[in-house]
Amino acid sequence: MPDNNIPVTDVTASPGPASPTRRNFIKNTGITTASLVGTAALVTGSDEAKATASWAEHFQGNYRLMTDEEKQEAIDRLEKRYSLEYDKKVTVDGTEAQEGVLFGYALNIQKCIGCRRCAKACVEENNQSRGPDQEIEWIRVLKMEKGEFTRDKLNDGYPGDYGIQVGGNAYSAAGVVLEGEHYYEPEKVPESDSHYMPIACMQCEKPPCVKVCPVRTTYREPDGPVVVDYNWCIGCRMCIGACPYWARRFNWGEPNLPKEEMNPNTHYLGNRPRMKGVVEKCTFCIQRTRHGRYPACVEVCPVGARKFGNLLDPESEIRKVLDRKRVFRLKAEANTYPKFFYYAD
C-alpha cells in the first residue's frame, strides 16, 4: 500500500459509524495506483451512468455498518443499474428485521415426494444463475434408500481385514454412498423404496460460516436468516468450507440470468442479482418473508411438507409443529442450532 500515512491501527479499528469504511479510507488516503488503473478501466469501459454506479458500488462499505443514508444510496444505485441491465423496473428492498420475529422452518420428511419443485421455485424466485455453464440451486433434494438401519447390517462397515475403514459408515459396508442420490431421475416420484430429504441453508443460530468469514460480509440477521452482502464478499469461500450442510454456492463465472426470467422484486440481502466471484445462499426468501409472505419453496410444495413461521408466535404453524411432532435437526451434534427442523407425523 504506497503513500499511505494512516496508522495501521485506524484501519483495523473496531467497526462503528465513525470508523473508517473502505470508501472513506480510500477517500482520505488518496487512491492507490492499482485502484486507479482498475477504475479507469471501469469508466472508459461503459457508458457514464453505469460507470458512475459501478465506481460508487466498488467503493461502498460493508452493508451492516452503513448508515441509513448510505444504505439508501446503495439501494438507489443498484435499482438504477439493475433496471438498466434487465430492461424492467427492478426494486431493491432494504426492509429491516421486525421486532419480535424469529423465522423458523419445518419440513415433513415423511411427506416429501422428491419432486424437486422447491428447488426450481427457489430459482424462479431468487434469481440464481441458470445452466448450462453455471447452474446454481440452493435447495438439493436427496434421495435416500429406505431400511439401512437394519439388524443384519449392524456389523457392517467396521474395519475388517484391511485394518482401516475406507468409507461408508458403521451400519453399512464401505464404498456405499449413504449421503443420498442427488441426480435421481425416475419416471415418477415418489418411488416405493425411497424417501427424500431436501437440504438447504439451516439458518443456524450459531453459524460456522459466519465465524470464518474474514471480512464479515455474512452475518445472522436479527430475525434469523444468515445473509450475505454480495458487494463486500471477497470470494474466499471459507464459508463454503465451514458449512456442515453444503448450503452455500459460489459464482465461479458470470451468472446467467435471462432478462425475461429475472424476478424484479428483490432485497439487498436476498435475491438481487449476484456477480461473478461471490457466495450466495438461501435467505428464507427475505424479500418475501420480511413482507409477511411465505417463502417460494413453501408455497410450491405440492404435498404441503414445508411449514414456515415465526418461532416467537405460539400460534404459528412452526410452533405447532415443534409442540406436537417428532422433530430433529440435521447434524445437531455440530452445535450449530439450526432453525430448520425436520419432522414426521
Q: State the residues that interact with other proteins by CB under 8 A.
A: 88-89, 111, 113-117, 119-121, 124-125, 131-132, 135, 137, 140, 145, 173, 176-190, 192-193, 260, 262, 264-265, 289, 292-294, 296, 298-304, 307-310, 313, 315-317, 320-321, 324-325, 345
Looking at beta carbons, which pairs linking 259-262 to residues 24 or more positions away fall under 8 Å?
259/86, 259/87, 259/88, 261/124, 261/130, 262/86, 262/88, 262/90, 262/127
Residue with cell 435475491: 271
For residue 289, what is its C-alpha cell?
418473508
Nearer of residues 19 and 316 to other proteins, judged by Cβ? 316
The pairing of beta strand 249-250 with beta strand 279-280: antiparallel
Closest separation between CB of residue 92 and other proteins, Å?
15
Q: In angstroms, what is the minimal distance from the CB of 319 to other proteins?
A: 9
CB of 66 to other proteins, least distance (A): 28
Q: How far is the CB of 29 from other proteins (least distance, A)?
A: 42
Task: Compute the distance between CA of residue 147 and CA of residue 67 in angstroms, rounded to an integer.
Answer: 55
- Quote the least distance from Cβ 190 to other proteins, whole Å: 7
- Specify the residue, 174 or 330, whose C-beta has the smaller distance to other proteins: 174
Judged by beta carbon, residue 31 or residue 97, the one nearer other proteins is 97
Minimum distance of other proteins from residue 196's CB (angstroms): 10
Q: How far is the CB of 304 from other proteins (least distance, A)?
A: 4
Name which of 121 and 269 has its Cβ closer to other proteins. 121
E strand or H helix at 10: helix 8-11
Nearest CA-CA partner of 324 in 177, 106, 124, 139: 106
Q: How far is CA 72 from the centre of its chain?
A: 23
| Residue with smaller CB distance to other proteins, 74 or 318 | 318
- Smaller CB separation from other proteins, 23 or 116: 116
Q: In b/e form, how buried is each residue of 46-76, taking b as 16+ CB within 10 angstroms? A: eeeebbebbeeeebbbbbbbbeeebbeebbe
Instruction: Considering the complex, state which of residue 119 and residue 204 has its C-beta at the smaller distance from other proteins.
Output: 119
Whole-angstrom CA distances from 161 to 142, 157, 275 are: 32, 11, 51
In the numeric block, the cell 434469481 is attached to 127
